[in-house]
Amino acid sequence: DWTMGAYREEAIAKIRAQVGDAKVICGLSGGVDSSVAAVLIHEAIGDQLTCVFVDHGLLRQNEAAEVVAMFRDNYNIPLIHADESDLFLSALDGVSDPEVKRKTIGKLFIDVFQKHAAEVGGAEFLAQGTLYPDVIESVSFSGGPSVTIKSHHNVGGLPAKMGLKLVEPLRELFKDEVRALGHELGLPASFIGRHPFPGPGLAIRCPGEITREKLAILRKADAVYIDQIRRHGLYDEIWQAFVALLPVRTVGVMGDGRTYDYACALRAVTSVDGMTADYYPFTHDFLSETATRIINEVKGINRVTYDITSKPPGTIEWE
């Protein structure tokens, strides 16, 4: 792609000019954005870059292992795999307000990055895969008082006290352009096609208080759901699909017994850039097969609903 080839060259020149011979750490989330940012920056400055993959205990099933393997197998980029799940989960203990969750997670990310910035011998820059839609959704509406839709943890507001300057080479791009750039940079197609995954992870797919027990249930249900979507060949038609575990238990029957377990909501949307979205029109057969599988295979869930809210008025995530 000619356009992305030119963009790549220009971005590399800008990164070199911004960074000079300083060290950079890049927060890797396993998503397309941060991966493309990392590969691009590595091409620009080589081993001045160290990637830090923070496992905050809020990842999907097998995600940490898959991401680390993808990077170690395909790239020679120095990579730190930081298991910080105890740190994040204990800070989130008892927290149910969505913005408090986001701020708690954002603050801990900063702490963890700062720690590693020091460990790699004094990194001066933090690289992030911030995209254009992240930038605009985080700014205030014009007119009236400032209203922030959400504090995307990976945007702008990183406090100056952090002492790290930001490198954000994807700030002008939309998702489809990032995917084109990833293709241009030779990232595996399976990786480029991954659904977006938010920085706060499963925390914002588990409304109410987060517990390890709930996260374990959510991970299993989510894995069954994604497996269903792949088996039916629908993964690439969908922008994003996931399960939200609801903070509500309902009564059911199974065999001769009464159950009292969690309800979950399936979410799947189509979108071009995440700014607006429509719910995906699954067939009834698909939905009932998936509900049956989740209830049979996931202990702790006895009711499955499908979220048919578009964006707007809903958001894609539940929090």
Asked whether position 56 contacts ligand XMP by CB under 6 A, the answer is: no
Which member of 42, 153, 194, 267 binds ligand XMP (CB under 6 A)? 153
Asked whether position 152 contacts ligand XMP by CB under 6 A, the answer is: yes
Which member of 81, 165, 232, 311 binds ligand XMP (CB under 6 A)? 311
Asked whether position 179 contacts ligand XMP by CB under 6 A, the answer is: no
Asked whether position 196 contacts ligand XMP by CB under 6 A, the answer is: yes
Q: Contact region for ligand XMP (CB under 6 A) — 58-66, 192-200, 251-259, 297-305?
A: 192-200
Closer residue to ligand XMP (CB): 27 or 220: 27
Q: How far is the CB of 17 from ligand XMP (least distance, A)?
A: 26
Asked whether position 128 contacts ligand XMP by CB under 6 A, the answer is: no
Which residues ranging from 228 to 267 are in contact with ligand XMP (CB under 6 A)?
240
Q: How far is the CB of 199 from ligand XMP (least distance, A)?
A: 4
* Rounded CA separation 223/140 (Å): 36
Asked whether position 201 contacts ligand XMP by CB under 6 A, the answer is: no
Please give the annotated binding residues for ATP, written as ranges: 29-35
Interface contacts to ligand XMP, rule CB under 6 A: 150, 152-154, 196, 198-200, 240, 274, 311, 315-317
